[in-house]
Structure 1
Amino acid sequence: MFHLILTACVAANSGQCLDLLLPEGDAATQQDCLAAAQRISGEWIAARPDLTATKSTCRETTEVETVDLEEVAPGIWVRRGIIAQIEAENRGRIANLSVVIGRDSVAVIDAGASRAEGQALYAAIRRLTMKPISHLVLTHMHPDHVLGASVFTEAGATVMASAKLPPALEARAMTYLENFDRILGPREMIGTSITLPVALVEESDRIDLGERVLELRAVLTAHTDNDLMVRDETTGALFTGDLVFRGLTPVVDGSINGWLNWLAEPPAPGGVIVPGHGEIAQNWQEAVAKQADLLVQLRDSVRKSIASGQPMSVAVPEIVDQLQGLADGWTDFPETIARDATAAYKELEWE
């Protein structure tokens, strides 16, 4: 397999350039790839006036940057993200990204923090299989999970997500792109754009990959108001997105009560559990016990502060101090818990 690689530069700064993989140019031979390169590259760059192109080439899959994929169950592969906050050193590549291979096609679950990460995932898939990528499932709207999506739409995938995701993502789109451009740098973000889903899940849906079915289920407000979990019916593997954090301190961006309600209702016993961040778990207890304990303690501490009449400005630093004994094993604990305590206070003061 040969891939069309376009070197694109920021129009306002020709020194900021990045090699981009254009899936439409994929071909079995280098000759076929080169034959269509000028047309495909020209059309792609013409639609993006903020970029200029310097050259295009065709490279074999073995010559293209990829992410590392690990098979965690038959036909299920996971790229484990770095357990850290987003920063330039890790290129924002902190989310777990998953690939499910069926008889007829492939589904991808979450797309990464940039087009560069998305195309590295795409190239890794092409080292495993040439089956079409029929679906990309976005588990929620946070940028480390969704900003690589355009690569997969160009490859022909249908993007699926909770019906609540589009308005949530649209409302935050410019902030996400501006923040990532600032944190990761303009070069890393070349070609990155917002891609909205076209297939929306109100309550539940199914994806048939051929002798393998994925069940998609929307979740009431928990980590966010647009969480979606995915279950592989063949192996029982559960993909939770950021409904489950392991290692990285969980972020409350929806409802702490709703999140605890979700955690209190374990799914039927099945296969491995792939969290949004951190290590794959072999069972529900292993996956959620530490997180559930932290969120319960956070909720109870916030309720106590509210009941005592403490204003939020006083309560939040005190809650961070109270929960410091739970910090072991959580990355970026004080900063994230301070944000979580603020979010929980705003929610719980209206109970």
Structure 2
Amino acid sequence: MLYAILTICLAADSRSCGTVTPVGHAFAAQAECEAAAPRIARDWLGSQSGWTLDRLECAPLDSLPVMPVQPVADGVHVHVGQIAQFEDSPDGWIANLGFVIGRDSIAVIDAGASRRQGEALFAAIRRISDKPISHLIVTHMHPDHAFGAEVFREAGATIVGHQRLADALQGRGPTYLDNLVRLYGAGAMAGTRVVLPDVAVADSLDIDLGDRVLTLKAVATAHSDNDLTVLDRATGTFFAGDLVFRGLTPIVDGSLPGWLDWMAAPQAGGPVVPGHGPVAASWPDAVTAQQDFLTTLAQATRQTIRDGLPMSQAVPAIVGALQPFAGEWASFPDSAARDATAAFKELEWE
């Protein structure tokens, strides 16, 4: 199939250029694509502000950037992101993303940090299957998981998230996007927009892809206040989102006690796909290291509170208590300080 590829530039800065491929328009013949491409470009640019068209061409999907994916179970594929925080990554492609193929359709779990990454995931899916993409499931609000969503809406997917996801994206999304543009440049983030979910999950929801049911569960405040998990009941594969970190220092952006409580209840017995780091073969493999880290964080924080330390002294003391973990977790120094601050602010009011 052929797609129109738009090279767009900021009108105020011709050096800030990027490419966009509206994936909702696919053509079997070059002539058809070339005839439709000007209209596609006009329609797409009409919804943007400050961007101009620099070049327009038609090309097959095989010529587009594609991200590597690996099978982890029958019909289940995962892209394992860089084990780094945004500041240590060249492009922000740090989260694990996945998709599950049913008899009738495909569900995507998380969409990446930008439109460009979402398109690369779309291209990877299309190399494996041409079935309709019926759903995009966003596990939580953080941009490395959510900001490629518009690509899959264009492809026809219904976007599903936690009942608090929309509010979280509306509140934080614009700031997240500004920060990523500053970090990676406007060209790398070209066409990236904050996209809200179509369906909100308050408790649980089953999605049938055809002889394949995914069970989605909304989680109480833990890593964030809008975490959603996905269980493929056919294989037992469990997509945990950022409720599970492996290799990358866990980030508390919700509730530390809530996160520890969630980990205390074992999940399904198949492969566990964390939000960051390698896929785990079992639940203990997935969470033991994270439990140890977060338990120590909670214990050290409560000790500083019992000792009556102000936050300016408590944070260094908590980070000091976490130092034995430093060699086990990437991006440790900044993330540990952030976690110590968040934990102190929450636990001082227990």
Q: TM-score range by the shorter chain?
A: over 0.9
Q: CA deviation at 1:169?
A: 1.2
- Secondary structure in structure 1 of the residue aligned to 2:5: strand
1:293 maps to 2:254: no
1:88–1:337 Cα change, 3 Å:
closer
Alignment of 1:1-351 (within 5 A): 1-87=1-87, 89-269=89-269, 271-351=270-350
- Secondary structure in structure 2 of the residue aligned to 1:342: helix
Contact persistence 1:2–1:58 (CA under 8 A): yes
Q: Distance in 1 between matches of 2:8 and 2:347?
A: 48
Contact persistence 2:268–2:283 (CA under 8 A): no
Matched residues, number: 350
Q: CA deviation at 1:241?
A: 0.3
In the superposition, the TM-score normalised over structure 2's length comes to 0.98
In the superposition, the TM-score normalised over structure 1's length comes to 0.98
Ranges in structure 1 where 5+ consecutive residues have no aligned partner: none
Q: CA deviation at 1:50?
A: 1.6
Q: CA deviation at 1:337?
A: 1.0
Q: Distance in 2 between matches of 1:89 and 1:253?
A: 20
Q: Distance in 2 between matches of 1:227 and 1:34?
A: 43
Q: Which residue identity lines up with residue 63 of structure 1 in the other structure?
A: S
Q: CA deviation at 1:272?
A: 0.5
Q: Which residue identity lines up with residue 210 of structure 1 in the other structure?
A: G
Ranges in structure 2 where 5+ consecutive residues have no aligned partner: none
1:138–1:65 Cα change, 3 Å:
same
Q: Where in structure 1 do 4 or more consecutive aligned residues deviate above 4 Å?
A: none
Q: Distance in 1 between matches of 2:338 and 2:26?
A: 44
Root mean square deviation of aligned Cα: 1.1
1:88–1:263 Cα change, 3 Å:
closer
Q: Distance in 2 between matches of 1:46 and 1:200?
A: 29
Q: CA deviation at 1:165?
A: 0.7
- Secondary structure in structure 1 of the residue aligned to 2:23: strand
Q: CA deviation at 1:243?
A: 0.1
Percent of residue pairs bearing the same amino acid type: 52
Q: Distance in 2 between matches of 1:56 and 1:155?
A: 20
Q: Distance in 2 between matches of 1:33 and 1:73?
A: 36
Does 341-350 or 229-238 show the bigger shift? 341-350
Q: Distance in 2 between matches of 1:28 and 1:68?
A: 25
Q: CA deviation at 1:267?
A: 1.6
